[in-house]
Amino acid sequence: MNNCSFKKYSLTLRGKLVDIDRPWVMGILNATPDSFYSDSRVMDELAIAQRATAMVAEGADILDIGACSTRPGAEVVACTEEIKRLDVAVKAVRAAVGNDVVLSVDTFRAGVAQHCVEELGVDIVNDISGGDLDPMMHNMVAQLQVPYIVMHTRGTPATMQQLTDYDGDVAAVVLEELARKIDILHQLGINDVIADPGFGFGKTVEQNYRLLSCLEVFHALEVPLLVGISRKSMIQKVLDCSAHDALNGTTILNTIAMMKGAHIVRVHDVKAAVEARKLVAFTMDKSS
């Protein structure tokens, strides 16, 4: 992909070096009854298996499995319940699509991350709190030695949208705060870090679009960049639509993100993202 904004990186997955030489598509699997987009909720084994199989067939590079909703205002479920849901979901996914598909676990709890990596064979830890909600998370990831997605947010899911006052430009503040955490992670021996600016987490609609408009600045972090915009309120509020009608807006914003060099797009709709990636790659190749 001859995109001047796209910088290649490598991750160590299962002891092997894997190149990110094009944007990866991460498909969302929510083993929860209360995720903000109802069509993404899959609670029973058959539904989970069917969704995972469909996403892999459509071209997903990673499946991201979560069992505790972190939408704005969400109530956090007990750790035992989160693990119970993940046990069902991860086992159903592995049975359906095999062991070759890369899985990430969407959790902010160190104990859940440990269980999923050591007991269930999950490959990546995706932490929406960047370690803020569990002080043991960073040390746990250092122990597990798996890639870690550090996301920027503020507060908790229940309070984050009350914490949108930034001292200065939101992009500069988010960049600085992510850089500080990445430095800490590297000092702990965590080499495979992926940065997520945290669209929709502790940001207003305007702040979200400011982050997207200058997404290139986050390449200064010198780690792969993940963008999670799929069907979020930043699309709904501008287009005056529901999450169910936000696919077109999602695809447009994912296209912008990929043209600005995003390495991973986290999506509910894999097929649309894969098609967008193909068109972006074709455009970039023809412009070089």
Phi first, then psi, for residue 112 (nearest 5°) are -70, -40
List, as one string, the DSSP characters of 106-152: E-S-HHHHHHHHHTT---EEEETTTTSS-TTHHHHHHHHT--EEEE-
Inter-axis angle of helices 110-118 and 79-97, nearest 10: 30
pLDDT at position 37 is 47
Tokens for 8, please give them: 């290649």
Q: Residue 204 gets which letter from DSSP?
A: -
Q: What is the pTM of this model?
A: 0.93
Which residues are within 8 A (CB) of 213 and not within 5 positions of it... i.e. 6 or more apart? none
Residue found by looking up tokens 């972190």 in the block: 70
For strands 16-20 and 9-13, give the pairing. Answer: antiparallel
C-alpha span between 158 and 71 (Å, rounded): 8
Q: Which residues pair with 150 in a beta bridge?
A: 127, 195
Query: Which residue ranges form the domains of the chain, and what is each CATH number?
Result: 23-287 (3.20.20.20)
Instruction: Answer whether 49's CB lies under 8 Å from 92's CB.
Output: yes
Instruction: Answer whether 83's CB lies under 8 Å from 55's CB.
Output: no
Residue found by looking up tokens 């972090």 in the block: 221
Closest alpha carbon to 235 in 57, 36, 52: 36
**Given 109, 154, 232, 260, the catalytic residue:** 232
71 is catalytic: no
Helix (H, G, I), strand (E, B) or coil at 28: strand
C-alpha span between 96 and 197 (Å, rounded): 32
pLDDT at position 109 is 97
Mean pLDDT by 10 residues, the chain (288 residues): 75 96 96 59 80 97 91 77 94 95 97 98 97 97 98 85 88 97 98 97 96 97 98 96 96 97 97 97 80
**Given 51, 181, 231, 266, the catalytic residue:** 266
203 is catalytic: no
Q: Residue 168 gets which letter from DSSP?
A: S
Handedness of CA 29, 31, 33, 36 (dihedral sign): negative
